[in-house]
Amino acid sequence: MPRKRPRIIAPAGQVGGGLRAGLAGLNPYRNALQGEGILTADNAQLVGNDQADAARRRAAVQAAYAQFGGSLPAGFKDQYGDLADPNVRDLAARNPYSDVSKIDRTFRENVANNLAARTASGVQLSGGTQLQNQDQLYQRGNSEYNAANAFLSNLANQNDQYAQASYGRVMDAAGNLTSAQKRLIDNGIIPESPVPTMAARTAAALKAKSKPKLIKAKPIGSRNMNPRGGRR
């Protein structure tokens, strides 16, 4: 049974780890392919571009989170681990100029101003004071909600831009691989013959079964005949 030849797999996923993984499963001429100068240079440029884009995305996401400065919603998924460093979250929480810090400061100032005004009017203990405080709580919650949505929208935009650029690099890597294979073939470095497909193997098996089997008749006087001329 012929040894199965590994398929050539185009890189998938993140370009940095995908290029080497894609070349790892090639047939025996992979050494020539991996050493192909143009392919090596092209792929190195793709990996460098991917790393640069990832660094820009990470910086943008961390800056946006520092500007937001609030708690992340339940179920939040940090797709690329840009906020995995606890120091990043700690700095955002302690940023006095973050959106959440400014919202909280505005809330406390409004509550204090309302209380001072109602105290001056002698109605600080009335039900109106409590209603105004509840209204300020609502305004703070609404502002924090809007700030969180703005951060999440920014985050999604950064991730989407990176994902689209990364996908384009994966397609470029596949094209680089095809071009390199063509250059090798043009120079006489040819991969192994491909393994027959399932359809070809099935057709060959059916063809073999369709051939009639010839039964050779044993000659007279063989061991099938007894010494007296009759059959055993």
Domain ranges of the chain: 15-95+151-210
Mean pLDDT comparison of 128-132, 169-173, 217-221, highest-scoring range: 169-173
- 189, with CB counted inside 10 A (0-12, 13-18, 19+), is middle
User: Whole-model pTM?
Assistant: 0.65
**Tokens read off for 102:** 């400014």
Q: Return the closest-CA partner of residue 136 out of 153, 112, 111, 159.
A: 111
Is pLDDT of 204 > 70?
no
Q: Return the closest-CA partner of residue 161 out of 84, 18, 64.
A: 64
